[in-house]
Chain A
Amino acid sequence: MAGTESTRRRVLVAAAVCLLVAGLRAAEIIRVTPLAKNGRIFVSFEMRDAFNDDIRAVIQSGLTTTFSYDIDLRRSATLWFDKTMSSATVSASVRYDTLTRRYQLSRMQDGRVEESRVTEDAEMVRQAMTTFEQLPLFSTTPLEPNAEYYVRVRARTRPRNAWFFWPWDRDAASGVARFTFIP
Chain B
Amino acid sequence: MRPGVEPRKPFRDNPRLILLGILLLVGALIVMITLADRSAQLSPDFLSEVVLYALSAADLTMLVALAFVLARNIIKLLVERRRALPFARFRAKLVAVLLGMTLIPAVLVLIVGSELIRNSADRWFSAPIDEVLGSASRIASDYYLERQTVVSDNAQRMARNLAAVDLSADDVSAARTLIVPEVTQKRIGMVEVYRIVPGNGNRPAVVPVVDVATPALPRTYVRASADRLAARVAASGEEGRALEPIGDGGELVRATAVIRARGTGTAQGVVVASDYLTGELAAHFRRITEAYEGYSQLRVLKRPLAGVYLSFFLMVTLMILVSATWMGLYLAKRITRPVQVLAEAAREIGAGHLDHRVQRETADEFGSLVDAFNAMAGDIAASQRKLERSRIELERKHLDVEARRRYVETILDRIATGVVSIDSGGRVSTMNSAASRLLGLPAAAVGQAATDVFARGDLKPVAGLLRAGAHPAEQSAHEIALARGGREVHLAAAATPLHGDGSGSDGVVLVFDDVTPLIRAQRVAAWKDVARRLAHEIKNPLTPIQLCAERMRRHFAGAPEATKELVDECTGTIVGEVESLKALVDEFSQFARMPAPRTVPSDLHALLDETLALYDGLFQGIRIEKRFVEELPQVRVDPEQIRRVLINLVDNAVEALGGVERGPVPVDGREDLILIATHHDSPNSVVRIIISDNGPGIPAGDREKLFMPYYSTKRRGSGLGLAIVRRIIAEHGGSIEVADNSPSGTKFTIELPC
Residues on A facing B (Cβ under 8 Å): 3, 5-19, 54, 57-58, 60-64, 98-101, 158-160, 162-168
Contact = CB atoms under 8 A, between A and B. Distances in A.
24 contacts: A3-B40, A6-B40, A10-B42, A10-B43, A13-B47, A14-B51, A14-B52, A15-B301, A16-B44, A17-B48, A19-B300, A57-B300, A61-B293, A64-B44, A159-B48, A162-B48, A162-B304, A164-B55, A164-B304, A165-B56, A165-B307, A165-B311, A165-B314, A167-B48
Contacts of A8: 294, 298, 305
B361 interface: no
B56 A12 contact: no
Contact of A9 (B40, B137, B286): B40
Contact of B44 (A14, A18, A19, A165): A14
Given A11-B305, A18-B301, A159-B45, A98 B40 contact: no
A62 B307 contact: no
B138 to A, nearest CB: 9
A136 to B, nearest CB: 23
B53 interface: yes
B300 A167 contact: no
B296 interface: yes
B303 interface: yes
B710 interface: no
B297 A99 contact: no
Contacts of A10: 39-44, 47
A68 to B, nearest CB: 12
A170 B300 CA distance: 22
B45 A11 contact: no
* Most chain A CB neighbours (cut-off 10 Å) among B286, B294, B301: B301
B693 interface: no
B518 to A, nearest CB: 112
B140 A99 contact: yes
A16 to B, nearest CB: 5
Contacts of A58: 300-301
Contacts of B243: 99-100
Contact of B297 (A3, A9, A165, A168): A9
Contacts of A61: 293, 296-297, 299-301
Contacts of B36: 7
Interface string B264-305: 000000000000000000000110010011101111110111
A63 B299 CA distance: 13
B144 interface: yes
Contacts of B306: 164
A164 B311 contact: yes
B594 interface: no
Contacts of A167: 48, 52-53, 56
B118 to A, nearest CB: 12
B48 A160 contact: yes
A104 to B, nearest CB: 12
Contacts of A7: 36-40
B59 interface: yes
Interface string B409-452: 00000000000000000000000000000000000000000000
Nearest to A101: B141
B145 interface: yes
* Most chain A CB neighbours (cut-off 10 Å) among B51, B299, B300, B308: B300
Contacts of B298: 8-9, 12
B49 interface: yes
A14 to B, nearest CB: 3
Contacts, number: 140
A159 B56 contact: no
B40 A164 contact: no
Interface string B298-339: 111101111111110010000000000000000000000000
A74 B89 CA distance: 62
B308 A99 contact: no
B228 to A, nearest CB: 13
B289 A11 contact: no
A15 B55 CA distance: 13
A9 B304 contact: no
* Most chain A CB neighbours (cut-off 10 Å) among B52, B56, B140, B309: B52
A154 to B, nearest CB: 17
A98 B141 contact: yes
Contacts of B45: 158-159
Given A63-B44, A160-B49, 12 more contacts: A5-B294, A10-B40, A10-B47, A15-B301, A62-B293, A99-B243, A100-B144, A158-B48, A159-B48, A164-B311, A165-B59, A167-B52
B300 A9 contact: no
A99 B43 CA distance: 22
Nearest to A16: B301
A58 B305 CA distance: 13
B48 A13 contact: yes
Contacts of A11: 39, 47, 305, 308-309
Contacts of B310: 164-165
A126 to B, nearest CB: 18
What 8 pairs across the A-B complex have the smallest Cβ distances?
A164-B307, A15-B304, A13-B44, A159-B48, A14-B47, A18-B304, A62-B293, A6-B40
A64 B314 CA distance: 29
Nearest to B145: A101
Contacts of A12: 294, 297-298, 301, 305
Interface in B500-514: none
Contacts of A54: 300
A11 B145 CA distance: 31
Interface string B511-551: 00000000000000000000000000000000000000000
Contacts of B41: 10
* Most chain B CB neighbours (cut-off 10 Å) among A9, A19, A54, A57: A9
B57 to A, nearest CB: 9
B620 to A, nearest CB: 113
B300 A159 contact: no
B193 to A, nearest CB: 24
B294 A98 contact: no
Given A3-B40, A12-B298, A13-B297, A98 B292 contact: yes
A163 B145 CA distance: 39
B62 to A, nearest CB: 12
A65 to B, nearest CB: 10
Given A99-B289, A159-B44, A14 B308 contact: yes
A168 B57 CA distance: 10
A56 to B, nearest CB: 10
* Most chain B CB neighbours (cut-off 10 Å) among A54, A60, A159: A159
B296 A62 contact: yes
Contacts of B309: 11
B143 to A, nearest CB: 9
Nearest to B286: A99
B60 to A, nearest CB: 8
Contacts of B301: 12-13, 15-16, 18-19, 58, 61
Contacts of A100: 141, 144-145, 243
* Most chain A CB neighbours (cut-off 10 Å) among B38, B299, B308: B308
Given A162-B52, A167-B52, A62 B297 contact: yes
A6 to B, nearest CB: 4
Contacts of A101: 141, 145
Nearest to B305: A15
Contacts of A164: 52, 55-56, 304, 306-308, 310-311
Interface string B66-95: 000000000000000000000000000000
A110 to B, nearest CB: 19
